[in-house]
Every structure is written in structure tokens, then in C-alpha cells.
Structure 1
């Protein structure tokens, strides 16, 4: 497998779909040997067997995961990605994504794994790893919390009380916020928030808001519009 093929596979796995221009741009930034757009277009026009074997298709000017096209989610995913920046790991890390099953094991992933080992699998790391990888996949594709909890039940895992259920939910949510997902162009939800949304949030003022009111005289017309004097109308009610 040549290096351009590896880049196409790795970028497709990391981003779900990737435009031909982005493939050329990232490849040329990370390698002394430079490619042209025609080199990339050759893969679009004549997809190699290596791409088909890992379920990567050509569609318009993009390399796309087959599942996205089968589920008719191409346009939706493009819309979700719109204007978001791209997370581009260093070359050695990026090429790990040639393996479709590879994902970055964050601190939050290891926290969940440790909890499962301690509370459900009595140190059996292999069984804990299986379910932790499944949960990572569920979070990656945005499945709801009930589906994730059902995965525990399906493995005959019993929660001892509501506190433990809430502990697991908290760990899963922390994991979900730190997973690199397609719709964020490889960024995690937390990174998108911290880098690109949080700086735009306005902080509350140091002093509380106050509303100034003009003082109404007792003999002035009542502001409610009744035609009566204020003292004969709403003054007593207030």
C-alpha cells in the first residue's frame, strides 16, 4: 500500500468523508514528497481494491465511508461539518487511523475502563475492554443513553443501586464529550466548545441588573389606564 492510499484511508476513517483538496493539503503539509490534485483525482476516478476492502467509496469529489452513503447521510454530514475546522494529528498519529478499529484512548476512556474493571469485572481487563470499546462506538455515533445502558443489561450486568447507575452515566457522558467524531472533523465535542464556542460566550456583569422606574405621584393618573388617580386605583394593590 503506498503512502497516498494510507492517507486516504486514515483521513476517511478520522473524518467520515474527506474532500480531495483536503487530502492533498494534509499530505503535502506532512511530507517532503509533494503530490498534485491529479494524483488524488486518480483515486476518485479509479478506486483501488485497498479502498474497497475497507469500505471507502468515491462520491463526487469526496472519499466517503460506505455506511454514510448506504444510510443516505452524505448531505446531512456535510451540513453538520460546515465551517468547522479540521483536527489534524501529527503524521505518526494520523496514520494509525489506517486501522478502522483504531481510536484515541483518552483519560475519560481509561476512567470508565477502570471503573468497569473494579465494579463489574473484578479486574478482568479483557471483558471490561470489550464493553468499553462498544460504549465508545455507541458514543461515537450518538446513540442515546438508554441504548448504552441496555448494552450493560445485555451482558447480564446488574447495577446495585441508582447511585451506581448515575456514576456510570456520568463516566459515559465524560467519555462522549472527549471522543473524536466525524461531524466535528475529528475534534471532540469538548474541544469544539473550548476552542470555538466558549470564547464567544458573554460573561455575566459584576453587578446585578436593575430596572429604573419613574416615581408615580399619588394624584397622577394611574398607569393602568383606568382613568382613576393612582391613589384610588393600583397604589393600594401594590
Structure 2
């Protein structure tokens, strides 16, 4: 409920107050110079700071209705953005109070979509001139280019989440193998450049694509990480499964996670929603290769006290979850899979064993305080 209220307030803040207008010139004339300047920045309009308001309106009108500008933005529109655009192509405007800001903010920043608030109702508009510019495109060719662009972006998102870091050449190889394509590095880099002004969870530098969670790492740490994984194979699932990793919160619901969830519900007496939240956090901690003491903190911070019997029963379940969790350090393999794939002791070392010594280290005094030894992503979530 709180999220819905926050999203509604954000929608209200972004909306133009008053009756719906569908002409771009009329819309631009209604908004403040500060907002015009903001759109001008996102449209890379040169000399904007020296323009008076009407001059800025005229210059922005020319830029926003430029076919090249429309084409570039629409090529990179994400799924929820494209769904909203598809609705707007078919009508002068739509009334919908439930649209999430993610579906329109990028397009609004580019001056391609606007919203209005009238009598507590939200209306969304794609100006007539923008639609006219879109119709000037070769729509068949545009559709083909958009398909390739979206495919590259989905694979890039998925690869960054599954592997943490991967060479561009390897990613292109995977894309071509799974799609019978002929994607080149030049085309891949062109797609990456086209989304340089969007907020992404990954980046490309020096021929490597990496998850932005690695931004805090030094060049030395990158080199260390790459050296540690250089002899490990990539886990490459079928296309449908691989692309599921494009969703940042996706992970496989393994039998080991199910067993842990059932134990939390049946033996600890927690409702399903609580159990799901705990295993979600434990899976994340395992994927980040946190020590067992940090993983056990998920119970401590929820004020769930475990007796000795429960501790002895739940630790093996968590270790099994850890051993079946996909990890960046294993190039997407789980420790259990990699120990079977490779017989060398260096790879087998990733598999945790449940021993008395391991369980004896768990205790209240061993739990890390918030932020100690944790990565930024963990703290944020």
C-alpha cells in the first residue's frame, strides 16, 4: 500500500496540472523553463543556457520531432515503456492512475510522452507531432533493428546478473549460438552506445561487460577475479532460462531452497510470506559468498531465536542451499556442479561441508553488525 501511495505521488509530481493537450507546441508552452532545460539536457540540445523561454520551446520542438531523435529513443524503449507507447499510438491520450513511473520517465525526459493531472485523474499523452515523426520511419526496418537491440540488451542484463563479469566476445558468441545470428562487436558496441543515457545495472569497459555492483572494485581486484576464473567453464543454460536472469531479482527455486522454506514454515512456525523473504535473503547472501555467520544473521535480525536442535537441523539445509547457488566466482555454476565438472581440488574447495566445527562457530557473538564485511548491494536490499 505504501508503495502504491509513493508511486501515485510521484505520478502527480510529474504531471502537468490542467486539461489534456495533445499538441507538442502547446505542451511545451505550458511547462516551466526549468523543466524545459531539463528536457533540453536529455535531448543534448546545444546552447540551451543562452536561450529565452520561447526560443527554448522552438528549439526543443525541432529536436523532439526530429525523426532521428524519435527513432533512437524508441529503439531502446524497454518492455514496460513500449507497452505504454503501444497504447498511446492507438489513442489521442489514455487515462490511467496505475501506470508506474518506470514506464514513462525515460520517454518523458526525452520530451516524447507527457502526463496531465485533472480532477485527481492522470492522463498520458504522446504528442501528435511525435506520432507523425514515428510514422515517417521505415517501420519494417525499424522493427528488425528494435528486435536486435532488445535482444542484445536482454542478454547483457542477464549475463551481468549471472556472471558478474564476462568478455564482450564471449557474450556475442553466446548470443549468436542461441539465435543463429551474426552479431558483430561493432553492432554490439553501437547498441551499448545507444543506451548510454539510460540507467542500467551493467557497463562495458575494455572489452568486458560487468555488473555495476563491481563498480567499487579496483582494477587490481578485477584482474584478480579474472585470474581466479580463467580456467573455469561458463554455465550457459538454454536461451529461455538464460534470459530469465535479465530480471534482477530472479533466481532458481531449487529443491534445497524449497526444503529450507518448508523447514522455516513447519518447524519455526513462520507464515509463507516470512519464509519466502528469509530464503530470498539467504539465497542472495549465498550468491555473494557471505560466511555462514552473516547468513545466520537473517534470522537474528528478524528476532528468530534458534535453539540447539533447530540450529543443528537448519545449518545443513543452508549449506545445501549454498552448494546449489549460482555464483559469479564459478561463472554461473553452483559449487556442487563445478565440483562434478572439474575434479581439481581448487574447484572442489568451493563446496562447503557440514562438520561439527562449522556448526560450533555459529553463535550470537559471531554475527556481523550491519555493514561489516557486506557489499553495498546487500546493505541496500
Per the normalisation by structure 1, the TM-score is: 0.77
Match of 1:87 among 215, 228, 235: 235
Residue 288 of structure 2 is aligned to residue 138 of structure 1: no
Q: Taking CA–CA contacts closer than 8 Å with sequence separation of 6 or more, which of the two structures ends up with the larger relative contact order?
A: 1
CA distance in structure 1 between the partners assigned to 2:253 and 2:226 by the alignment: 26
Residue 287 of structure 2 is aligned to residue 175 of structure 1: no
- Per the alignment, residue 70 of structure 1 pairs with 216
Residue 133 of structure 2 is aligned to residue 5 of structure 1: no
Q: How far has the Cα of 1:79 moved from its partner?
A: 1.9
CA contact under 8 A between 2:285 and 2:295: conserved in structure 1? yes
In structure 1, stretches of 5+ residues that fail to align are 201-238
CA distance in structure 1 between the partners assigned to 2:184 and 2:288 by the alignment: 33
* 1:163-211 CA distance string (max 9 Å, x none): 21021111110000001111111110001101211799xxxxxxxxxxx
Structure 1 segment 154-169 matched on structure 2, within 5 A? 154-159=301-306, 161-169=307-315
CA distance in structure 2 between the partners assigned to 1:49 and 1:134 by the alignment: 31
| Count of paired positions | 196
Per the normalisation by structure 2, the TM-score is: 0.49
Q: Secondary structure at the match of 1:165?
A: helix
CA RMSD of aligned residues (A): 2.0
CA contact under 8 A between 2:235 and 2:333: conserved in structure 1? yes
Q: How far has the Cα of 1:33 moved from its partner?
A: 3.2
CA distance in structure 2 between the partners assigned to 1:90 and 1:43 by the alignment: 23
Q: How far has the Cα of 1:151 moved from its partner?
A: 1.8
CA contact under 8 A between 1:121 and 1:127: conserved in structure 2? no
Q: Secondary structure at the match of 1:64?
A: strand
Q: Secondary structure at the match of 1:53?
A: coil
Q: How far has the Cα of 1:121 moved from its partner?
A: 3.5
CA distance in structure 2 between the partners assigned to 1:108 and 1:198 by the alignment: 25
Q: How far has the Cα of 1:9 moved from its partner?
A: 0.9
Choose 1 or 2 for highest CA Rg.
1
CA distance in structure 1 between the partners assigned to 2:208 and 2:181 by the alignment: 22
Q: How far has the Cα of 1:43 moved from its partner?
A: 4.3
- Per the alignment, residue 37 of structure 1 pairs with 185
Regions of 4+ moved over 6 Å: none
CA distance in structure 2 between the partners assigned to 1:4 and 1:116 by the alignment: 40
